[in-house]
Amino acid sequence: MTATPHATDRAALVTGATAGAGYRTAQALAARGLTVLISGDDRTRGAAAAARLRRRAGHDRVYFLRADHSTVAGNLALAAAVAERVDRLGVLVNNAGGAYPQRRETADGYESTLATNVIGPFTLTRALLPLVRRPGARCVNVVSPGGAGFTGDPFSDVHSVRHYTAAAASARAGLLALAWTLELARRERAWGPRVFAADPGAGRSAPPPRPRPGRLPAPRPLRRIARTRQRRTHRAALAAATTWELAGATGSLLDPSGRRVPLAPGVLDGEFTERAWALVDGLAGAAAHGRAVD
């Protein structure tokens, strides 16, 4: 890799692409001939994934960049590393994320689901906007399914201190991620990238655990369903990143098959998306300046 930024619109960054849906998205983009940057937390898994992707793509332009997506500093560091390597990005897929059975906090002092699924991608995207600010570019945020069905007040107890379940934290994160995605699409509508939210669907992406001695393996039909779901969790993100017909549909949410989902009128109106943007912006800014906010 050279120190001079590589000038190409045919470069993509897929975060959290050492495994699961991100890996398959990166594989499909690399197979289309794009230069693909992938990120992940673990250097060994990252190097192995990049090597596998290079072999499968039949070219060498797949690079792993180590990143901690759970912190603002980690996302800013990744943006700087990306800008050293490419001067434009045609595709940015914010896929890294997760759900956590127990409540935990990141180094910024933020609840992990919110930090990794909402504040992290917001920080990264904002820092990379100079590289994607063209109508031909695509910015895709993988959002947790169920976000639109969140019933509580997403602006209250944002770090789930009073009440935590993985499902509720994921649903809140999904809703806030969808909201800032729609707000980004509105703000960048004229000259910026086409912006999409992609629902991966509920399916294990990582391979199911091997049956342990004494535990029966899942019945074959269930294993088949799990495998099918595994293979499909990248479809919405890939469609958002590549489908030509979606060029005029910035600000859309895509279902797990890659089809546009009508958004319930009023649920995500401009006031709501602006409020979500302000919340996430405030949290990202405070962490960048070393002040966590409740």
- Which residues bind to ligand NAP, rule: CB under 6 A? 16-22, 40-42, 45, 67-70, 95-98, 116-117, 142, 144-145, 200, 202-206, 233
Residue 134: CB minimum distance to ligand NAP, A: 25
Residue 106: CB minimum distance to ligand NAP, A: 8
Neighbouring C-beta atoms of residue 50, cutoff 10 Å? 23
Helices (H) and strands (E) in the chain, counts: 9, 8
Query: What are the CB-based long-range contacts (under 8 Å, 24+) for 161-166?
Result: 161/111, 161/294, 164/102, 164/103, 164/111, 166/99, 166/100, 166/101, 166/113
Residue 136: CB minimum distance to ligand NAP, A: 25
Are 118 and 280 within 8 A, CB to CB?
Answer: yes
Residue 147: CB minimum distance to ligand NAP, A: 10
Counting every residue written for the chain, the total comes to: 294
Best CA proximity match to 248, nearest among 293, 185, 292, 205 = 185
Q: Which is nearer to ligand NAP, 108 or 188 (CB)?
A: 108
Element (H, E) at 127: helix 120-132
Q: Which is nearer to ligand NAP, 154 or 200 (CB)?
A: 200
Q: Which is nearer to ligand NAP, 12 or 88 (CB)?
A: 12
Q: Which is nearer to ligand NAP, 40 or 258 (CB)?
A: 40
Residue 234: CB minimum distance to ligand NAP, A: 7
Q: Which is nearer to ligand NAP, 197 or 268 (CB)?
A: 197
